[in-house]
Structure 1
Amino acid sequence: MPVPAAADPWEQSLDATDTAPARRRLPLYEAGAIPVPFVIRGNTERIARDTHWDEHSHPTHELLWNDRGSSTATVGDRVWTVTPHHGLWIPAGVRHTGWTPAGTWQRAAMFSVDRVPTISEQPTAVEVTPLLRLLLDRLGDAELEDRARATTEAAIVDVLEPAEHELLLRLPRSALLTPIAERMRTTPSDTTSLAEWATRLGVSTRTVTRAFESETGLGFTRWVATARAQHAITRLTAGDSIAEVATAVGYRSSTAFGTAFRRVTGTSPGRFRNR
C-alpha cells in the first residue's frame, strides 16, 4: 500500500476535514516492471479517514509498518495485522489489499528489486526493532550524504529478517465456514459456540472442526481467538483500556482475554499496548 509522492518523499500528511471512508485504486505492476532511481525510499502518511486499498502490486518490494495505530494487509486468504512493532514485507509483484483506520500514522519503505534481494518469496512479518526503526528514520534526513546513505541502506538490508511471531489470520473460503468468518470479522463480541454453529449449519461439530483445520490450519477455538486478537490489537493501539477491549472482543473478564491474547501473540495485552 504505497502513499503518493510528496515534495519530501519520506513524509506526507493528508489530514482533512472529510471523515467519510476513502477508497484508493492503485495499479498492478510485475516485479521490476519499472526501474527506480533508489535503493530504499520511504513515505509517511497520517491517515485522516478510514481507507480501503483496492488490490494492487508494486514493481518494488515493500515494507509496511506504523508509527501509531494498526492496519491490515490481505493477500489471498491471509490477513496480517500491521502495528508499530509488527511490520509486513511484501515482495514485488505480489497482489494485496489493505485497510487503514483513521488516525493511523502509516509508514512504508520501497526497496529496489535490482539492489535488494527479497527476504522471502511470500509476504512475511518483520519485527520492527528499535535499530531497524532508527535506520529507516535516518534515510529521511534530506542532508544525509551519499556515503552515509549507502551505509544506512546496507545496514537496513542486513538487519531485515522474518519475525518469530506474526499476527496472521487465514480466512476460510468454503460456503460452510464463510458465515462464521464473516460474523467474527464484523462482530468479534459474538460468543456463539462450536456446538451452536454446527446446529445452525446443520452439520456435526467434528465437521466444522475438520473444515477449519483443513482451510486455516487452526481449530475453531484457536481461529476465533486469533480473529478476536486482531480486533483487540486495533482497539489497544487506539488507546482503549484492556477491560473495554476484553468486552468488545467477547471475553467475560480481562483475565480470560489476557490468557487468550497471550496464546495468540506471545505477549500480554498490557505489554503489547505499552510497547
Structure 2
Amino acid sequence: MTTQDHRPRTVGPRHHARARASESRQLPLYDAGSVEVPYVIQGAAEVITRDTWWDEHSHPTHELLWNERGASTATVGTRTWTVTPSVGLWVPAGVRHTGWTPAGTWQRAAQFSSHAVPSISADPVAVDVTALLSLLLDRLSEDGLSDASRATTEAMVLDVLAPAQTQLLLQVPTSPLLAPVVEVLRGDPADQTTLAGWSARLGVSSRTVTRTFVAETGLGFSQWVATARAQHAIAMLARDEEIDDVARAVGYGSASAFGTAFRRVTGVSPGRFRSM
C-alpha cells in the first residue's frame, strides 16, 4: 500500500524550509454542511512559529484564509494559490486542500456556516482583503458585541465579500514529461534554462513542450515560468526583502525587468504589492 504526499507543490527552494524546524498538522475531512455550527461567521488567528505543513483536510464550513503578516500557500489538486495580507482565498465547504505556512506568518481565517451563507464560488477563488473587509472581520472578534451588532456586521461582510479580479494562482503540471522542469524551478526559480534548452534536455520538440504546458496549465512555457517566479517573489516581498534581492533570487537581471514581469502576473508592481 502506498501513501500519497498531499503537501502543496509550490515552486521554490523548499529544501531550505525543510532544513529549519517544521511540523505537519493533521485535520479531519468533513463533507460540506456535515456539522451544524452555532455561528454565521467565526474568526481565528495564529502566529505560526514553525514552518508548517497542513495535510489534506476539508471543513464543513466555507473558509476564508488571509494573513495579517507574511505569505503562505494553499493547494487544491494541482492548483496552488498564494495567500497574502491583501489577497485571501475562499475555500468552499467540503473542498479538500493542503497548505504551507512559513514561520513568522500571522495567519488569519474565518469560517462561514454553509447552512447560512451561500458560497461565493463553486470552486476555490481569490478574494481581495480590502481595508473595509478586514475591519469588519476584526469587529466580529470583539468581546461583548451584541447580537444585533453582530448580525449587522455579518451582513456587511457578506455584502463586500467577492472574488478578486486577479488570482495569485499557479497550476502545476503533472505529466512525467514536464516533471524535470517543475523540479528544477522548485529548487531554483532563477534557473535560466530556455524553452530550447529544455526541449534538448527532454529530447522533444519545443512545440511539444509548449503544447503540454498549455494543455495542463493554460499557459505557455514562458508565462508559466514567470508565474512560478512571481509566486516565489511574493513570499520574499512579504518578508520585506529588498526588491533588487528578490529580482536576482527569481532570475531577473534588474529590478525593472522583474517589475515588468511581476506586473504582468499580478497586475501591480512589486512595490505596490508590498504596500497593499
Superposed CA RMSD: 0.7
Q: CA deviation at 1:28?
A: 0.4
Amino acid at match of 1:217: G
Higher relative contact order (CA 8 A, sep 6+): 2
> 5+ unaligned residues in a row in structure 1: which ranges?
1-18
2:84 and 2:72 mapped to 1: Cα distance?
A: 7
Give the structure 1 partner of residue 131 of structure 2. Answer: 130
Give the structure 2 partner of residue 7 of structure 1. Answer: none
Give the structure 2 partner of residue 244 of structure 1. Answer: 245
Give the structure 2 partner of residue 59 of structure 1. Answer: 60
Give the structure 2 partner of residue 95 of structure 1. Answer: 96
Q: CA deviation at 1:139?
A: 0.5
2:187 and 2:38 mapped to 1: Cα distance?
A: 42
Length-normalised TM-score, structure 1: 0.92
Give the structure 2 partner of residue 85 of structure 1. Answer: 86
Q: CA deviation at 1:54?
A: 0.3
2:116 and 2:184 mapped to 1: Cα distance?
A: 44
Q: CA deviation at 1:158?
A: 1.1
2:144 and 2:62 mapped to 1: Cα distance?
A: 25
SS at match of 1:185: helix
1:218 and 1:96 mapped to 2: Cα distance?
A: 23
Amino acid at match of 1:205: S
Query: Which aligned runs of 4 or more in structure 1 are off by greater than 2 angstroms?
Result: none
Whether 1:183 and 2:217 are equivalent positions in the alignment is no
Aligned residues: 257
Give the structure 2 partner of residue 153 of structure 1. Answer: 154
1:160 and 1:40 mapped to 2: Cα distance?
A: 12
Q: CA deviation at 1:250?
A: 0.7
The percent identity for this pair of structures is 66
Q: CA deviation at 1:42?
A: 0.6
SS at match of 1:175: coil
Q: CA deviation at 1:78?
A: 0.4
> 5+ unaligned residues in a row in structure 2: which ranges?
1-19
2:124 and 2:148 mapped to 1: Cα distance?
A: 31
Give the structure 2 partner of residue 213 of structure 1. Answer: 214
Length-normalised TM-score, structure 2: 0.92
Give the structure 1 partner of residue 167 of structure 2. Answer: 166
2:91 and 2:270 mapped to 1: Cα distance?
A: 27
2:131 and 2:235 mapped to 1: Cα distance?
A: 21
Amino acid at match of 1:129: T
1:115 and 1:135 mapped to 2: Cα distance?
A: 18
Q: CA deviation at 1:125?
A: 0.4
Q: CA deviation at 1:34?
A: 0.9
1:69 and 1:186 mapped to 2: Cα distance?
A: 21
2:179 and 2:265 mapped to 1: Cα distance?
A: 22
Whether 1:200 and 2:201 are equivalent positions in the alignment is yes
Give the structure 2 partner of residue 75 of structure 1. Answer: 76
1:263 and 1:178 mapped to 2: Cα distance?
A: 25
Question: C-alpha offsets along residues 42-88 of structure 1, whole Å, 9 cap, x if unaligned?
Answer: 10000001100000000000000000000000000100000000000
Question: C-alpha offsets along residues 118-167 of structure 1, whole Å, 9 cap, x if unaligned?
Answer: 00010000000111001000001011111000100011111111000010
Amino acid at match of 1:255: S
Q: CA deviation at 1:215?
A: 0.5
1:50 and 1:41 mapped to 2: Cα distance?
A: 25
Q: CA deviation at 1:186?
A: 2.4
Give the structure 2 partner of residue 274 of structure 1. Answer: 275
1:47 and 1:145 mapped to 2: Cα distance?
A: 31
